[in-house]
Amino acid sequence: MNLRLSLAENLVIGLERLSRRMQKGNPSNDRRSKHLLWLVVAVFLLGVLATALTPMISRHLAIDRCLDAGGAFDYKTDQCIEELQE
């Protein structure tokens, strides 16, 4: 594969090659190709899911760190208030 192509372009090229292999009709290659295709799709979907959940998980971890340190978390400003004034 060409190093100048983006990751998405390489993925499309790989999927096109996989599709051509699946069309050839060899039963053992078809099964392997289908498993490989499902693996690529699963890894892609896991990456999308991880990307979508990262901000939410990061916020909860920041809240937890703040509370564990004895501070208070201001949910309106998303900031930790470390010194409580009494």
In order along its 86 residues, the chain shows pLDDT tens digits of: 445 667 677 777 777 877 776 666 655 566 777 888 888 889 999 999 999 999 999 999 999 999 999 999 999 998 999 875 55
**Cα dihedral sign, 29-30-32-33:** positive
Position 14 in a domain? yes
pLDDT for the residue numbered 2: 47
- The number of distinct structural domains making up the chain is 1
pLDDT for the residue numbered 50: 92
pLDDT for the residue numbered 1: 44
Position 86 in a domain? no
Position 58 in a domain? yes
Quote the domain boundaries for residue 65.
7-81
Q: What is the spatial distance between Cα 23 and Cα 53, in angstroms, rounded to a whole number?
A: 37
pTM listed for this prediction:
0.50
